Amino acid sequence: MEVIIQPDYEQMSKVAAEIVVEVLNAKPNAVLGMATGSTPLGLYQELVRLHNEEQLDFSHVTTFNLDEYVGLAPNHPQSYHYFMHEHFFKHVNVPPQNINIPSGSTSNFPAFCEWYEQAIADCGGIDLQILGIGSDGHIAFNEPTSSMSSRTRLKTLSKQTIDDNARFFDNREDVPIYAITMGVGTILDARKLILVASGKAKAMAIAQAVEGPVTSMVTASALQLHRDAKVIIDEDAASELEMRDYYEFIYAAKPAAPKT
């Protein structure tokens, strides 16, 4: 795991976008795993800028989103379908038929989840998975106690996640209590992972995920097991890391990429 600490949210988002660009330059038909939430928003804004100003091409890209609330229509303002289209897909040239987001309104959740896993496999697997982190250390909607080998499934949200997400809804009672989510095992199958986090509210979760034990109580700690995972955070999110100086030393000492 590589920990990359940046001065602020804007720089953090740009560094994350650079990694996406590297993947697309190496493989224009890459399969990208997408995350929703306020933290990845800056990353998506930077990718949109690069598309508009520097012709970053998504025309051969396939995407799979991590999760979706159960019970919200795709056009609901708090659905992840709506978020992704408003903040990313409507601004870039990913072919609509290549966009995959879990259905929160399917009538057969087990069959849909099995299909979603198979669709990822049929595309050759995810090349780069983007992740955020919950305040309790969860990734996607893999709440504490989720199996480290879990696959895409229906998941009951924890009280803390419901409380954290209530700010996006008019009333706490409006927050769905179920979601479809990729499993931890599904996420770990991706060839490359980047996790972005900002703010002091995420500092303890980052410290537990990066420096704590690998445990199902903090599902983001599973990234410690991955062969190519990067945690990209701002100063505030790094504030609880004991090895912070070492991470900064490693990043500063990295050799420059060879010129082509």
According to DSSP, the residues that pair with 87 across neighbouring strands are: none
Rounded distance, CA 139 to CA 165, Å? 14
Annotated catalytic residue: which of 46, 68, 143, 189? 143
Domain count, the chain: 1
Each residue's pLDDT tens digit in the chain (260 positions)?
A: 999 999 999 999 999 999 999 999 999 999 999 999 899 999 999 999 999 999 999 999 999 999 999 999 999 999 999 999 999 999 999 999 999 999 999 989 999 999 999 999 999 999 999 999 999 999 999 999 999 999 999 999 999 899 988 888 888 888 899 999 999 999 999 999 999 999 999 999 999 999 999 999 999 999 999 999 999 999 999 999 999 999 999 999 987 655 54
193-217 pLDDT, tens digit each: 999 999 999 999 999 999 999 999 9
- Contacts of residue 174, Cβ cutoff 8 Å, sequence gap at least 6: none
Q: The CATH number of the domain where 28 resides is what?
A: 3.40.50.1360
Residue 257 pLDDT = 59
Residue 170 pLDDT = 85
Annotated catalytic residue: which of 81, 127, 138, 235? 138
Is 138 one of the annotated active-site residues of the chain? yes
CB 49 within 8 A of CB 18: no
- Name the phi and psi angles at 100, rounded to 5: -125, 120
HSE value, Cβ hemisphere, 13 Å, CA-based, for 114:
4
Annotated catalytic residue: which of 117, 136, 234, 235? 136
Domain presence at residue 260: no
Domain presence at residue 144: yes
Residue 208 pLDDT = 98
What range defines the domain where residue 248 resides?
Answer: 2-253
Domain presence at residue 194: yes
Is 136 one of the annotated active-site residues of the chain? yes
Residue in the block written with tokens 């976008």: 17
What token pair was written down for 4? 């990359």
Annotated catalytic residue: which of 67, 117, 234, 235? 67
Q: What one-letter code names the amino acid at 116?
A: Y
Q: In terms of residues, how long is the chain?
A: 260
Of the candidates 182, 184, 180, 183, the residue with the CA atom closest to the CA atom of residue 72? 180
Residue 171 pLDDT = 85
Residue 260 pLDDT = 47
Residue 213 pLDDT = 98
Is 240 one of the annotated active-site residues of the chain? no
Domain presence at residue 258: no
User: How much of the chain is helix, strand and coil, in % rounded to 5?
Assistant: 40, 20, 40
**CA 2 distance to own-chain centroid:** 16
100-135 pLDDT, tens digit each: 999 999 989 999 999 999 999 999 999 999 999 999
